[in-house]
Structure 1
């Protein structure tokens, strides 16, 4: 597992880790970001209970199998998967027993609809209050914020502002992909006020929030960056390489 963060975080802190996964080249580098999320759990003397929610991917069997292959037999971990198709695989309260929850990428619109239909959003709120580390990539990054850019509704890039909103900022993911111009679209929506100011991440970058504030940005890629974007411009954030 990756080393913990550079500064101590109180055991009962509310931690969110929002990531742009690595979509091109060696995708195994996304695993390093997942391992970093696991390292944030204030657990010692027992395995870390770690649950994967592939809701945004429609609980695709390949996504479930990837997780089980990657983490099912990992020393020091007690891994599980929570699915909702065709019905929840366990009571949502199973999530309250976890130390770390990782939300996969896919459709953030479908993710939010299904979570709300099954009451998973309320259970996750309680998880946050109890100090469970909540993390995820792409849609699993947007969901904690006020909103962001998505192609979940049409084949165009749209603004979506009906996420959980536990963080008051918007979120831009995959901020460096030339073939899917999220970077331009995100800045346009923020500039016109459709989305509030927020944080954008290039692939390989994760934002670690503690108690509702940005604690630090980290990256598995040496040249990747995060950005704080407002209607007036943007500020570069150089992540700590992990």
Structure 2
């Protein structure tokens, strides 16, 4: 079993302490850090922000640009094998998963987890991907150009939960939709991370207000259980 840090959301300056935590989890002085920005269509501004943040934390940073560059299977394997940390960026979850499947990247990332080859991490769409189903505002849910919400399936399914990021922003929307799901839903505020270390689950944040919840719909009633979140 491996290591995963799935962040509920937040800009890089807000999640800085969690980013430090990710780097420390790698256990190396100058870890190789790989950013996968597929969900943002490999937006260069996003890549630059990630590069600046994690280089400041002592990492050697590179990016896998599946939407703007062409790779052979051997090249992708080589890039992944060099990584001590893999961080998946936010954006369009549905588009990201469709793109990954063209390259077999979904299965490659699962094997990295099960072999504990690197710290796997990500934010928003990059957190959703590790679960069985995600609450998402992917473009496929837009209605007349307006943001819409729905469920994205076909994820990596490492954890048997539905996942919702940005719960502090979309809590009412999720609460109204959760009855459509049969599996428990893990809902994280911005600046909260779900952490899995070899099967041991915890939650971390750098502030005093961000929260994590497990939601279930039982006998027609929404049940919401707040989880213990450790401040780092």
TM-score, reference length from structure 2: 0.86
Gaps of 5+ in 2: none
Gaps of 5+ in 1: 1-12
Across the aligned residues of Structure 1 and Structure 2, the Cα RMSD in angstroms comes to 1.9
Deviations 1:100-150 (A, max 9, x none): 111110000011011111111122122112211111000001000011211
C-alpha separation in 2, matches of 1:102 and 1:121: 14
Which is richer in helix? Answer: 2
Please state how far the C-alpha of 1:38 moved relative to its aligned partner. 1.4
C-alpha separation in 1, matches of 2:54 and 2:197: 25
* Equivalent residue, structure 2, for 1:21: 9
* Equivalent residue, structure 2, for 1:85: 67
* Equivalent residue, structure 2, for 1:231: 217
C-alpha separation in 1, matches of 2:57 and 2:189: 31
**1:110 aligned onto 2:92:** no
| Aligned positions of 1:1-150 closer than 5 A | 13-23=1-11, 27-43=12-28, 46-72=29-55, 74=56, 76-88=58-70, 91-93=75-77, 94-131=79-116, 132-150=118-136
Deviations 1:181-222 (A, max 9, x none): x313323333233x5212110111001023345x21001221
Please state how far the C-alpha of 1:75 moved relative to its aligned partner. 6.1
Q: What stretches of structure 1 move > 6 A for 4+ residues in a row?
A: none
* Equivalent residue, structure 2, for 1:163: 155
| CA pair 75-192 structure 1, distance change in 2 beyond 3 A | closer
Would the aligned equivalents of 2:107 and 2:156 in 1 still touch at CA under 8 Å?
no
SS in 2 for 1:146: strand
Q: Which has the higher contact order (CA 8 A, sep 6+)?
A: 2
